[in-house]
Structure 1
Amino acid sequence: MGKTHHEQHRIQNIGWLRAAVLGANDGIISTSSLVLGVAAAHAAHGNIVLTAVAGLVAGAMSMATGEYVSVSSQADTEKAAIAEEQTEIENDHEGEHRELTMIYMHRGLDRSLAAQVAQQLMAHDAIGAHARDELGISELSTARPFQAAWASAVSFSVGAALPLVVTALVPVQSLMFSMVSATLGALAILGGIAARTGGAKVLPGIVRITFWSTLAMSFSVGVGAAFGAIT
């Protein structure tokens, strides 16, 4: 008996990779921008550190909640669609067989082969075949709310830890320069790792993340400076 052939594709990482990269990226950018905005308003060092801590905690909880609600909604939609498909299979098995046959014909099979494939797949796992080939729901794309929430909260906290450490250790006089340098360096590394893990080109990923992060920090500094000038 031949050995079972298993393949590992980068797309299998897409679920956790998306949540992890989004969380870490948001943790670094939002906390750094928050710190830079408060520092530009000439706040005391203790207040800036407190701002960084509050930003880390609030951001992690916000990311977890947002991801859980969003992915839960996706999961509910998937469950409802599968339940509806199950009812259709039970009430009109022949009609669903014809529907699946047409799907395979559109993918290049002739009618007789498409009908045979549809028949065998429905005999093996009718709902699985329709979920995958008609609804586009597969094991790789199935929504996992807890996984997404946990990954987002942890990755945000890890990302936000960098600007928090920089804020705590660097004097106010050189805080803004140190924060921008550390943030852009960390984001460039993160963008490169994410691109390589996903199989994409590294340089465009780095350029994209550093450009938009610089823009976000610039706006925050401008708001903070304007507020500091008013007060």
Structure 2
Amino acid sequence: MSRLHHENHLVSRIGWLRAAVLGANDGIVSTASLIVGVASASSESSEILVAGVAGMVAGAMSMAAGEYVSVSSQSDTEQADLARETQELATQPEAEREELARFYVNRGVEIELAERVADQLMKNNALEAHARHELGLSEITTARPVVAALTSALTFAVGAMMPLGMVLVAPSHILVMAVSIASLLFLALLGAVGARAGGANILKATVRVTFWGAFAMALTAGIGALFGSAG
């Protein structure tokens, strides 16, 4: 008696994982950079905290809106392609059958077998078959604007809370250093977790995320210090 072989492919996570990693990364980097920049120009903890909270709220809303608009545009394109494919299946079924058969022939399947496979797929669900093989669309990769928007906003807020927490616990005279070091550690952890979830190289992902986070914070700290001294 044969057993079904079930596989959990990592690509099935791509929709939410990309939005989650992007949101959390931006939350940490944007908020930490803002806090470091403001702290370099001002020593008032209340001002720094207000700026950080405002940055967190504005950033989360911006991420949600940006992701929704971007992914909605992708979804509109997918729907337009599916509508055109539906029309072609209705008006040129034989040509679409040959196109599907050619897909398998080009991948090494004998032409007779490829034609039989195309016939079976066309009878079962012609649009799904052409969407998958001709357009590269599947349930895994289909754009989901609402999911992307909510995931990005939520993870941005979670990421932003990490450097914000340091404002509450770190003494003002070491705030810049405390936020910077803690944020780099958070970024390293995020890079490792994201790489682990996506099956990527953990060291490479961690170094990449940490480097660019450090660069952003150093730049904003320098700008903050410049304006602070000028004032």
1:43 positional shift: 4.4
TM-score norm. by structure 1 comes to 0.97
Distance in structure 1 (CA, Å) of the matches to 2:131 and 2:2: 30
Are positions 1:137 and 2:137 aligned together? yes
- Aligned position for 1:195: 195
Unmatched tracts of structure 2, length 5 or more: none
Counting only pairs closer than 5 Å after superposition, residues 208-219 of structure 1 correspond to structure 2 as 208-219=208-219
- Aligned position for 2:146: 146
Query: What amino acid sits opposite 2:140 in the alignment?
Result: L
Distance in structure 2 (CA, Å) of the matches to 1:17 and 1:178: 29
Larger deviation: 19-28 or 164-173?
Answer: 164-173
Distance in structure 1 (CA, Å) of the matches to 2:53 and 2:227: 21
- Aligned position for 1:49: 49
1:2 positional shift: 5.2
Aligned residue for 1:107, secondary structure, equals coil
- Aligned position for 1:97: 97
Counting only pairs closer than 5 Å after superposition, residues 60-71 of structure 1 correspond to structure 2 as 60-71=60-71
What is the CA deviation profile of residues 31-77 of structure 1, one whole-angstrom value per residue up to 9, with x for unaligned ones? 00000011111242111000000011000000111111111111111
Structure 1 runs of 4+ aligned residues shifted over 6 Å read none
Query: What amino acid sits opposite 1:104 in the alignment?
Result: Y
Aligned residue for 2:139, secondary structure, equals coil
Are positions 1:81 and 2:57 aligned together? no
TM-score norm. by structure 2 comes to 0.97
Distance in structure 1 (CA, Å) of the matches to 2:227 and 2:67: 33
The count of corresponding residues between Structure 1 and Structure 2 is 231
Counting only pairs closer than 5 Å after superposition, residues 17-36 of structure 1 correspond to structure 2 as 17-36=17-36
Identity %: 52
Distance in structure 1 (CA, Å) of the matches to 2:14 and 2:126: 27
- Aligned position for 1:72: 72
Distance in structure 2 (CA, Å) of the matches to 1:107 and 1:153: 42
Aligned residue for 2:115, secondary structure, equals helix
Distance in structure 2 (CA, Å) of the matches to 1:119 and 1:96: 10
Distance in structure 2 (CA, Å) of the matches to 1:116 and 1:175: 69
The root-mean-square deviation of aligned C-alpha atoms, in Å, is 1.1
Given that residues 43 and 172 in structure 2 are in contact (C-alpha distance below 8 angstroms), is that contact kept between their aligned partners in structure 1?
Answer: no
Larger deviation: 36-45 or 62-71?
Answer: 36-45
Are positions 1:174 and 2:174 aligned together? yes
Query: What amino acid sits opposite 1:11 in the alignment?
Result: V
Query: What amino acid sits opposite 2:14 in the alignment?
Result: I
Aligned residue for 1:46, secondary structure, equals helix
